[in-house]
Each structure stands twice: as C-alpha cells, then as structure tokens.
Amino acid sequence: MGDTERAVYVQRIDPDHREEYVDIHDEVPEGVKDAMARGGVIDFELYLRDDIAVCVLEAEDLDTYVETVTGDPEVEEWERRTAHLKQEGVDVDADPDEQIPFMERIWSFSPGDGD
C-alpha cells in the first residue's frame, strides 16, 4: 500500500431495494469517478452481503479525498439518487466531517510486522 491511506465504511441497504442497489452501480456517473480520482483515490472496492455494503477506499490522502467529494455537485447528485436504496450510510446532508461514516480500525495483521 505504500504511502497511501485506507478507510472503510459500511452502508445498510434497504432489503427491498438490494437488486436495484447492485444494478445502479453498473452506471456510476463519470463525474463521480472523476471526483474520486481528483480526490486521490488509488482503489475503491464495494462489497455486498445481504443488506450490508462495505466500502474499502485507498487514497493518497483521506482528508484531500473528503474535501474533494464533499460538496461536489455530481457526487451529491449520485448520493441523493442512491439514498432511497439505503437505510443508513453516506449522508450528504450531514456535517461535512460526518457525511461518510468511516469505521475505526481496531486491529490489523501483516505477516512479519513483529506482532
């Protein structure tokens, strides 16, 4: 991973809209991807199991990423478009520091790191 930062967040999907949530990600707007790239995203993965979506984000700098996507009109439009599919998750109406519900890492393991 080098000099990058990783963050994870979870969103709870409305079970009645699970299939739509999966399908809508076939058409993530270019403007959203452009904003993510401008924010320094190296890799972004989205996993889904039942009604839990797990987002794994690797970026050059998480603060830069958050500053770039928070308030970006195309990102905001995307999040509003997907909001009805979720029970909780990214909230563009929340305080900018709380829009993305990042998780706290409490443990990690890398072979050979001395632990």
- The string of pLDDT tens digits covering residues 58-83 is 999 999 999 999 989 999 999 999 99
Whose tokens are 């990690």? That residue is 108
pTM attached to this predicted model: 0.88
Per-residue pLDDT of the chain (115 residues; tens, 9 = 90+): 468 999 999 999 999 999 999 999 999 999 999 999 999 999 999 999 999 999 999 999 999 999 999 989 999 999 999 999 999 999 999 998 899 999 999 999 989 876 5
pLDDT of residue 96: 85
Cβ neighbours of 5 (radius 10 Å): 16
Q: What is the DSSP string of the chain?
A: -TT-EEEEEEEEEPGGGHHHHHHHGGG--HHHHHHHHHTTEEEEEEEEETTEEEEEEEES-HHHHHHHHTT-HHHHHHHHHHHTTEEES--TTS-GGGSS-BPPP-----TTS--
Specify the CATH number of the domain 5-98.
Answer: 3.30.70.100
pLDDT of residue 112: 80
